[in-house]
Amino acid sequence: MLYSVFIFKNAIRPVFYGSIDSVEIRTSSAQGILLEGCISIAVNNSSVWNSRGSALYAGNSQFITLNFVTVVGAGAGTANAKDGIRLSNTGATVRGCISAYNRGFGFHATGGGGIVSTYSCFYENTEGNFEGNAFSGTGDIETNPWFVGRNSGNLALSAASTCIDQGPANEFDPDGTRSDIGAYPFNSNMVPVITNYNPFPSTMTNYSWGDEVNFEVFANDPEGEELTYEWWYRDVLRGTSSQETITLVGPEDLQEVRLIINDGGYLGITEKVWSVIELGVEERIGNLPPTFVLSRAYPNPFNPSFTIDLKVPHQGNIELSVFNVNGQKVLEQSTAVTAGYLSMQIDGSAWASGSYIVLATLRGETVQTRISLIK
């Protein structure tokens, strides 16, 4: 499933017919999703986090379908009770949804007949999980959904979540397992693991154009699946085994050799990149980078980790910070370094999809770049 990279701060107001698919709504100043006087609207694989009003409200509407929707934190920033799912005089189907940590009810329906949810999760809603004509049905659970980062808006399921494989039994997630509850299916397929590689380190600073370099990687799949390999250099496929000899070709001063390891399963890809920095004669005898430079961040977009390349003119401590688009700091670390060329890998698996600013500071000098995470 491709998760939307669009973040809406205002309510979505469709009128008649259609669907809302794979959207993320964060810190809405009113309702997250508002359906008023609508007919045959489906909300699929979407999420609302920390709306001031009810996360999802439908009024005077018919044939509304909520499929695999996650709503969390309704009533944020206010003392008022706001519901996760609020239906008024509305006929609806609610299935595979999560409504948790809302200041009002998890599922509240008034007017019309009773509405029964199925294969959904309701948890820790301040006023209770069900109210009015809203009722729990087949497959519903009232246990902790265990999000990856509820406080930061990352509503993906963690490996400990009780919502995994608890959706409708006759439907399946992209990884081939029974459907999960909520907007973001958990990927049960474990990606290949690299245990060793050559050349080491992956920032290659002791080579010249024309050199033949032997690349090799040792990897395994935790589930025992057979691995395939693709070696890419200058946009050309160079080999398909675990080792390959590649001749470095100029004249660019920065290139990369990219290895893609695939176990054949859903999102079962691991990538390894070697940065090739050609050095002239003077640099080979000891000259160092003249200035502090963040050469690049890659891959961009990334999931779940990325690498930054730095040119470091002198030793010291690099203070690394990463901020999201709301100005919230999601990472802070300090690393002692020596002068030269440096690569640092950063894990963003606990972050929400979106854009991030990466800042690196050395002796009072700061360099930065922007990078995007797509899950």
How does the average pLDDT of the chain come out, rounded?
86
Asked if residue 305 belongs to a domain, the reply is yes
> 27 and 147: one domain?
yes
Task: Say if residue 13's pLDDT is above 60.
Answer: no
> 34 and 153: one domain?
yes
Percent of the chain with pLDDT over 90: 47
Q: Which residue has the higher pLDDT, 51 or 4?
A: 51
Distance of CA 29 to the CA centre of its chain: 24
Cα atoms found within 13 Å of the Cα of residue 252, Cβ hemisphere only: 9
**Number of folded domains in the chain?**
3
Q: Which residue has the higher pLDDT, 187 or 45?
A: 45
Q: What is the pLDDT of residues 107-145, one digit of tens each?
A: 999 987 789 999 999 999 999 999 999 999 999 999 999
Q: What is the pLDDT of residues 260-270, one digit of tens each?
A: 999 988 778 88
> 299 and 358: one domain?
yes
- For 100, residues 6+ apart whose C-beta sits below 8 A from its C-beta are 71, 72, 84, 106, 121, 122, 123, 124, 125, 145
Domain that holds residue 89: 7-157
> 277 and 297: one domain?
no
Q: What is the pLDDT of residues 58-92, one digit of tens each?
A: 988 889 999 999 999 999 988 889 999 999 999 99
CATH code of the domain in which 266 resides: 2.60.40.10
Q: What is the pLDDT of residues 347-367, one digit of tens each?
A: 998 999 889 999 999 988 899
State the sign of the Cα–Cα–Cα–Cα dihedral 297, 299, 305, 307: negative
> 60 and 119: one domain?
yes
pLDDT score recorded for residue 15: 55
pLDDT score recorded for residue 9: 31
138/116 Cα distance (integer angstroms): 9
Asked if residue 174 belongs to a domain, the reply is no
User: Integer distance in angstroms from the first to the last C-alpha of the chain?
Assistant: 9
Task: Say if residue 7's pLDDT is above 70.
Answer: no
Task: Say if residue 329's pLDDT is above 50.
Answer: yes
Mean pLDDT of 197-204: 87
Task: Say if residue 281's pLDDT is above 70.
Answer: no
Q: What is the pLDDT of residues 25-34, one digit of tens each?
A: 998 888 889 8
pLDDT score recorded for residue 176: 86
> 325 and 279: one domain?
no
Task: Say if residue 43's pLDDT is above 90.
Answer: yes
